[in-house]
């Protein structure tokens, strides 16, 4: 998962606006950040570095950069390591002119593409899958850059939401299956492309619409021109985890408010009640209050409290100066980060029965440490509620869960997980409940991390006995 942002204007300088857009998308990646633009000499320039946006980039310098089109990227590595050479945008000045690419998603046919390109002389400078797209463009020197880009994207498989800078203008592109969100915004005659609509409000722009799956949008002095990739998708595969965790709650994706979707997840979780898999212990219906794991569990906890009638308390305090722990690059940093980031209120939890709501339980790191900290506050009962289904399968489309061994729900029952993290009971939202809360048809959502049904059915990823998934096609 990464964040991309692009800006185009006929009159205004936009490099600093791209910086601000990246600040609004910081939750999507904290390892590196970069901004690219094309100068008056027809050369592509890039400023990028490791760390958060304000650490990696010089806002003052960008504010003095007089360009009317620029793109930016914040990175959380899912393909390629956390290295400066993998920081984006990836740029080149090739035979047909300058090009810069910022990419959110993972290419599932990277091994095939890279092998083919290297056999034709391509020399890769990074381990990022995005560089394969750049090489595919450069290997079509007889085509104009936009046509070469269309050619490249029609040979890519998997998830890609891109902003690309060419001499022809700013380009936005989304894979035909629509795995990752991409939105078009506008302020007066200025156009913006963003991974999420939440970035538009910071620069005074408004959401126009989503970039459609399979659409390539060119923005230049002639306005907007829409192209279609020559790949037809049987159905859409918008990542349901965007609504669960990744996206900011004030974003709108495919016409659905992320905030309202998460609130409804909490309500449905409260309505669904106990399941056969739920561990037993205490009486959650008689809990003293509902609390949350900040920040992504907050909205679901509000919905749970509203539906159950149990009072809501902000009983776990977050240190605002510590970033997301799920997207930290190592397990050790994730574990240390939880204790630094979260602090339960001893006054509220002492001798109380509490329901603790979180958005998801992936590795179990955060939940286990928070439950332990709450136990230190002498809580009488602690019931953990998860506003999404168990994450049992790895994601190949842009989430950092590369193997089932990383996923606590892959090899343990709900009762075993509850016991291992020290909760009196544990309950997940059902897959049907999640789909209903998002409010989009099930055949427009990817739920592979919950049910193992993949678009391309990689043999190593299909659960035993699943066979060919009936909910989607193959490449």
Q: Do 210 and 284 have their domain in common?
A: no
pLDDT grade, residue 331 (50/70/90)?
A: low
Angle between helices 298-308 and 258-272 (to 10 degrees): 50
CATH value at residue 409: 3.40.50.2020
Q: Do 208 and 355 have their domain in common?
A: no
As a whole number, the mean pLDDT across the chain is 88
pLDDT grade, residue 319 (50/70/90)?
A: confident
Q: Do 202 and 126 have their domain in common?
A: yes
Q: Do 224 and 320 have their domain in common?
A: no
pLDDT surpasses 90 at 99: yes
Express each pLDDT in 101-127 by its tens digit: 999 999 999 899 999 999 998 888 888
Q: Do 309 and 403 have their domain in common?
A: yes
Burial of 22 (0-12, 13-18, 19+ CB in 10 A): buried
Q: Do 319 and 188 have their domain in common?
A: no
339 bridge partner residues:
none
Q: Do 208 and 336 have their domain in common?
A: no
Kindly report whether the peptide bond that precedes residue 120 is cis, defined as omega within 30 degrees of 0.
no
Express each pLDDT in 62-90 by its tens digit: 999 999 999 999 998 655 556 788 899 99
Among 181, 216, 233, residue at a domain's last position: 233
Burial of 21 (0-12, 13-18, 19+ CB in 10 A): buried
Q: What is the mean pLDDT of residues 129-143?
A: 92
What is residue 474's predicted lDDT score, i.e. its pLDDT?
25
Start-to-end C-alpha separation, the chain: 22
In a domain, 370, yes or no: yes
192 bridge partner residues:
7, 185
More confident residue, 56 or 334: 56
Burial code (b: 16+ CB inside 10 Å, e: under 16) for 209-243 equals: ebbbbbbbbbbbeeeeeebebebebebbbbbbbbb
In a domain, 465, yes or no: no
What is the percent of the chain with per-residue pLDDT over 90, rounded to a whole number? Answer: 75
Express each pLDDT in 156-206 by its tens digit: 999 999 999 999 999 999 999 999 999 999 999 999 999 999 999 999 999
Express each pLDDT in 149-168 by its tens digit: 999 999 999 999 999 999 99
What is residue 322's predicted lDDT score, i.e. its pLDDT?
62
In a domain, 133, yes or no: yes
Kindly tell me the sign of the dihedral angle through the C-alpha atoms of 153, 154, 157, 160. Answer: positive
Cα(324)–Cα(326) distance, rounded to whole angstroms?
Answer: 6
Q: Check if 395 is active-site.
A: no
Q: Do 214 and 289 have their domain in common?
A: no
Q: Report the C-alpha dihedral over residues 38, 44, 49, 52, rounded to 10 degrees.
A: 30
In a domain, 458, yes or no: no
The catalytically annotated residue of 2, 446, 449, 453 is: 2
What is residue 127's predicted lDDT score, i.e. its pLDDT?
81
pLDDT surpasses 70 at 278: no
Number of domains comprising the chain: 2
Which structural domain range is residue 313 located in?
A: 273-444
Q: Do 192 and 324 have their domain in common?
A: no
Kindly report whether the peptide bond that precedes residue 295 is cis, defined as omega within 30 degrees of 0.
yes
Q: What is the mean pLDDT of residues 452-471?
A: 48
pLDDT surpasses 80 at 330: no
Q: Is residue 418 within 8 Å of 408, Cβ to Cβ?
A: no
More confident residue, 280 or 412: 412
Q: Which of 21-25, 65-69, 274-278, 297-301 has the lowest mean pLDDT?
A: 274-278
Q: What is the mean pLDDT of residues 452-466?
A: 53
Q: What is the mean pLDDT of residues 326-330?
A: 52
Q: Do 227 and 279 have their domain in common?
A: no
Q: Do 207 and 309 have their domain in common?
A: no
CATH value at residue 139: 3.60.20.10
Q: Do 101 and 227 have their domain in common?
A: yes
Q: What is the mean pLDDT of residues 121-150?
A: 91
In a domain, 266, yes or no: no
What is residue 402's predicted lDDT score, i.e. its pLDDT?
60
Among 173, 201, 233, residue at a domain's last position: 233
In a domain, 406, yes or no: yes
Q: Is residue 374 within 8 Å of 416, Cβ to Cβ?
A: no
pTM passes above 0.85: yes
Cα(124)–Cα(118) distance, rounded to whole angstroms?
Answer: 8
In a domain, 62, yes or no: yes
In a domain, 450, yes or no: no
Express each pLDDT in 371-420 by its tens digit: 999 999 999 999 999 999 999 999 989 876 668 888 999 989 999 999 99
Q: Nearest to residue 162, comparing CAs of 228, 93, 104, 208?
A: 104
Express each pLDDT in 205-236 by its tens digit: 999 999 999 999 999 999 999 999 999 899 99
What is residue 333's predicted lDDT score, i.e. its pLDDT?
58
């Amino acid at each position: 998962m990464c964040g991309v942002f692009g800006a185009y204007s006929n009159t205004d300088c936009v490099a600093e606006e791209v910086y601000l857009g990246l600040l609004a998308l910081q939750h999507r990646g904290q390892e590196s950040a970069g901004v690219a633009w094309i100068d008056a000499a027809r050369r592509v320039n890039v400023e990028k570095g490791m760390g958060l946006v304000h650490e990696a980039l010089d806002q003052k310098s960008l504010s003095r950069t007089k360009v009317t089109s620029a793109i930016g990227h914040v990175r959380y590595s899912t393909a390629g390591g956390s290295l400066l050479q993998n920081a984006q945008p990836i740029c080149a000045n090739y035979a047909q002119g300058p090009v810069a690419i910022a990419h959110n998603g993972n290419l599932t046919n990277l091994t095939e593409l890279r092998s083919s390109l290297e056999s034709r002389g391509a020399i890769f400078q990074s381990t990022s899958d995005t560089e394969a797209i750049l090489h595919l463009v450069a290997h079509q020197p007889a085509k104009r850059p936009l046509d070469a880009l269309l050619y490249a994207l029609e040979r890519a498989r998997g998830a890609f939401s891109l902003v690309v800078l060419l001499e022809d203008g700013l380009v936005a592109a989304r894979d035909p299956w629509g795995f990752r969100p991409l939105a078009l915004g506008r302020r007066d005659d200025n156009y913006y492309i963003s991974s999420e609509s939440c970035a538009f409000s910071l620069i005074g722009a408004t959401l126009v619409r989503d970039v459609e799956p399979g659409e390539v949008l060119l923005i230049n002095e002639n306005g907007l021109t829409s192209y279609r990739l020559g790949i037809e998708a049987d159905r859409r595969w918008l990542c349901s985890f965007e609504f669960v965790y990744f996206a900011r709650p004030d974003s709108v994706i495919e016409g659905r408010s992320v905030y309202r979707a998460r609130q409804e997840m909490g309500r449905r979780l409260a309505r669904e009640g106990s399941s056969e898999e739920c561990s037993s212990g205490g009486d959650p219906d008689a809990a003293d209050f509902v609390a949350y794991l900040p920040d992504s569990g907050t909205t679901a906890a509000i919905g749970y409290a509203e539906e159950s009638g149990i009072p809501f308390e902000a009983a776990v305090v977050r240190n605002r100066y510590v970033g997301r722990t799920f997207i930290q690059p190592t397990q050790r940093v994730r574990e240390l980060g939880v204790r630094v980031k979260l602090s339960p209120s001893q006054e509220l939890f002492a001798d109380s029965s509490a329901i603790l709501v979180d958005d998801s339980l992936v590795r179990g790191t955060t939940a286990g440490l928070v439950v332990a900290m709450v136990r230190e506050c002498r809580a009488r009962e602690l019931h953990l509620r998860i506003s999404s289904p168990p994450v049992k399968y790895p994601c190949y489309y842009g989430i950092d869960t590369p193997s089932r061994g990383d996923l606590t729900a892959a090899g343990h029952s709900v009762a075993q997980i509850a016991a291992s993290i020290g909760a009196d009971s544990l309950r997940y939202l059902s897959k049907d409940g999640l789909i209903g809360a998002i409010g989009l048809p099930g055949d427009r959502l990817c739920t592979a991390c919950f049910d193992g049904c993949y678009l391309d059915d990689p043999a190593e990823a299909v659960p035993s006995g699943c066979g060919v998934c009936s909910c989607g096609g193959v490449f």
